[in-house]
Amino acid sequence: MPGSYDNSNIFARILREEIPCSKVYEDAHVLAFRDIRPLAPAHILVIPRGAYTDVVDFSARASAAEIEAFWRAVAKVAKEEGLSEGGFRAIANTGLNGGQEVPHFHVHLLGGRALGPMLTRAA
Ligand code: DGP
């Protein structure tokens, strides 16, 4: 996936404001918005504005300023959404086995209830 960024993916379109989102946070490098199919009382997606397909691509090609801004935003949003105190989950689905649907790097922030085990014990 790295190196083959698809400019027509849904998050690229949200960044270009071609389709709306429920915005939670934004700065020069980062946008955070509510997931359209929430799996928990709080379900927020944090994305870089830059064109990176996944966490591997982001870590390889993003500038130090983008990487710093991204992870600071993850923590800021978690805190401001009231997730830090009770705990939450940050997930970056990556590639086929990771079940990544949208090929623009994103971290899911999930919280607002006890989330249970990370995975069920499937084969
Ligand atoms: P992933 O499987 O990690 O690629 O998750 C993609 C998430 O993106 C999924 O939880 C649903 C969410 N999503 C897909 N389309 C839209 C959209 O148009 N708007 C918003 N806010 N979220 C979307």
Pairwise CA distance, residues 16 & 47, whole Å = 13
Count of domains for the chain: 1
Pairwise CA distance, residues 93 & 25, whole Å = 21
In this prediction the pTM is 0.96
Flag whether 121 is in a domain. Answer: no
Flag whether 4 is in a domain. Answer: no
Residue 27 falls in which region: left (phi positive, over 0), alpha (psi -120 to 50) or beta: beta
Establish whether 43 is a catalytic residue: no
The one catalytic residue among 29, 43, 106, 108: 106
Flag whether 53 is in a domain. Answer: yes
Flag whether 116 is in a domain. Answer: no
Pocket test for ligand 1, best of 1, 34, 44, 45 (most atoms within 8 A of CB): 45
Flag whether 22 is in a domain. Answer: yes
CA of 38 to the centre of ligand 1 (A): 9
- The mean pLDDT value for 87-111 works out to 98
7-49 pLDDT, tens per residue?
999 999 999 999 999 999 999 999 999 999 999 999 999 999 9
pLDDT at 1: 44
Pairwise CA distance, residues 12 & 66, whole Å = 17
Q: Whose CA is nearest to atom 19 of ligand 1?
A: 36
Pocket of ligand 1 (CB under 6 A): 10, 21, 33-37, 93, 99-102
Tokens of 23: 């915005």
Tell me the residue range of the domain where 56 lies: 10-111
DSSP element (H, E) containing 34:
strand 30-34
CATH label of the domain that carries residue 94: 3.30.428.10
pLDDT at 123: 62
